[in-house]
Amino acid sequence: MDSQEPTPWQPPSASEPATAKQPQPATWSPAFRPVPTIPLGGVAPPTPDPITTPWWSGPRAPLILLLAAALWLEISSFLRWVSVNGTDGVGRTGGGWRNINGNLSWGPFFAVLALAIVGLTVAAVMEFHRDRCIRLAIGCGVFAIVGCLAQFIDISTAPREMNASAEYGLYSLLLAAGFCVLCGSVALAISSSSSRESLARHRSLP
């Protein structure tokens, strides 16, 4: 038998194109999405700004309303509270700081309560013992309501010949005190709920 010698390797000629492996399209899983490409202009697409909560919304919104109600209560303490039309035909009026006899009335009491609510509300907004400050502000509002009711009772039990009647300032005072209690209660509910959620997230951490 004739033995055949192995054919030596010859480089491909120029007329024969070299074959190259075609690149396969890149694949990606749902967990790893492709990075968006930069357009031809060379400017990357704008990145959306992170969503932030405005300072006047969220849990602080009822606190801002509570601050406004406290200022309303402060202004109402200077308004006219009572009017009297005596049998002599002379009409007299009394306010929060001077009653119908010219003596000091209950205005300073309500003014101090309003200033206390303002200070407690500012402390709550600054996250300084927030729940405790809100509870104290609600207590000041309750004291203001009790004081208003005492004024209404005093006017209604006045002698009939005095013809005493409550004026707009006293009604404004009562509404402001009630609004303080309402806003404080809403703020306390939101704050307590937020505190419970934060505590639950903290306990769920490993």
Give the up-direction half-sphere exposure of residue 82: CA atoms within 13 A in the CB hemisphere: 27
The distance in angstroms from the start CA to the end CA of the chain is 81
Burial class (CB in 10 A: 0-12, 13-18, 19+), 42: exposed
pLDDT of residue 2: 53
Phi, psi of 82 (to 5 degrees): -145, 150
Pairwise CA distance, residues 77 & 170, whole Å: 8
pLDDT of residue 163: 82
pLDDT of residue 49: 43
Closest CA to 183 of 106, 127, 120: 120
Is the whole model's pTM more than 0.85, yes or no? no
Pairwise CA distance, residues 206 & 168, whole Å: 59
Give the up-direction half-sphere exposure of residue 39: CA atoms within 13 A in the CB hemisphere: 5
| Residue 198, helix vs strand vs coil | helix
pLDDT of residue 51: 39
pLDDT of residue 71: 95
Torsion, Cα 150 140 117 149, to 10 degrees, reads -20
State which residues of the chain have pLDDT below 50: 28, 30-32, 47-52
**To which H or E segment does residue 202 belong?**
helix 168-204
Phi, psi of 156 (to 5 degrees): -70, -25
